[in-house]
Amino acid sequence: MNQLANQSATMKICIHYREKHSGPWASADRNVKRTPQAGDFIAATATKIFRVVLTLHVLFDADYDAEVFAEVVDFDEVQRKTLGEEVWQGR
């Protein structure tokens, strides 16, 4: 597949978010160019950042190509630990 065709290709995912490790899940369908993988960070809003904890690729007929599960993180703390400072601030 040529690079231009690949850049415009999207897939539909069902993403499940939750505020804490044992809380209820909220779900949303999104069109993405790449399925988020475990460890990736997702900005669901400018003020809430989630880390992907599980990705399930759906091989059977469904309305989406993958299900992604993500839990909220303190992104300021993540930045301080990995970058030594807060670089990105949600707006």
Would you mind telling me the total number of residues written for the chain in this entry?
91
pLDDT tens track for 56-68: 999 999 999 999 9
* Separation between Cα atoms, residue 66 and residue 71, nearest integer Å: 17
Residues with pLDDT less than 50, the chain: 1-2
Domain residue ranges of the chain, discontinuous segments joined by +:
3-83
CATH architecture of 3-83: Roll (3.10)
Q: What is the CA radius of gyration of the chain?
A: 15
Residue tagged 């670089």 (tokens): 87
Q: Write down the pTM of the prediction.
A: 0.82
* pLDDT for position 41: 95
